[in-house]
Amino acid sequence: MEPTDVIMRGLAQVPLFAGLPAAALQDVIQHAISCRTEKDSFIFHQGDPAEYLHVLAEGSVKLFQVTEEGQQVIVRVAGAWQMFGGVALLDEDTYPVSAQAAEACQGLHWSSAVLRDLLQRYPLISTNAMRWMAEHVRETQDMFRHLATERVEQRLARILLRLMRQLGTPREGGVLIDFPLTRQDLAEMGGTTLFTASRILSQWEKNGVVKSGRERVTVSDPVGLAGIAEDSA
């Protein structure tokens, strides 16, 4: 695990702990459990008891739901110093998604009992939790609106732009989305078929907008991709 000062700087980026003084962050860290998860292993499954809130320190995690028809739908991905499993804050019974390591991960987690204690001791965490919940609701509403009103090209462009901002690493020739992303993953995130996602991605590659290979996507032309995302024609 990273040294304590690195962890403190990382946790300060997590919305739930934003604005906490150093002493409070140290207390939060002391109550955390460190855990390592190997690639493709599950941190929790959809329907498991929602007992822990998780924050990644290294690696990336894929969060997805399985529908009644057995279809896997990727809800979002989490990278370093991002939180998931937030339903543990809400006294929910079970996780609504599964969390699977897209690569080897190192992280921290806090039990529901510990969280309740931290919320009582640090009112700012409670305030941050309410803000997080409001933002979560807004993001969910936006996702359904995009699925209902936008063309597939727009949805896929928005997804890649969001991943670029979240997990992007500048490289020669563009911005690498540093996350194992297959065309099937992109199709699931965009609510479309593998055939359609592959066709669109291939066309974008021909146009110099993106490059793909080895489960990695590089956005070569962020401005062009943003134009596609905003094109309502």
* DSSP secondary structure letters along 19-51: T--HHHHHHHHHT-EEEEE-TT-EEE-TTSB--
Mean pLDDT per 10-residue segment, the chain (233 residues): 81 94 94 95 96 95 86 87 91 89 95 93 94 79 67 92 90 89 88 92 95 88 93 60
Q: What is the pLDDT of residue 2?
A: 63
Q: What is the pLDDT of residue 30?
A: 94
Spell out the domain ranges in the chain.
4-147, 150-230
CA nearest neighbour of 17 among 107, 78, 81: 81
Domains 4-147 and 150-230 share a fold: no
Structure tokens at 206: 């021909």
CATH homologous superfamily, domain 4-147: Jelly Rolls (2.60.120.10)
Considering the four listed CATH numbers 1.10.10.10, 3.40.50.970, 3.20.20.80, 2.60.40.10, the one that applies to the domain covering 150-230 is 1.10.10.10
Put simply, whether the predicted model's pTM sits higher than 0.85 gets the answer no
Strands (E), the chain: 33-37, 42-44, 52-58, 61-66, 72-78, 83-84, 98-101, 105-111, 168-171, 174-177, 210-213, 216-219
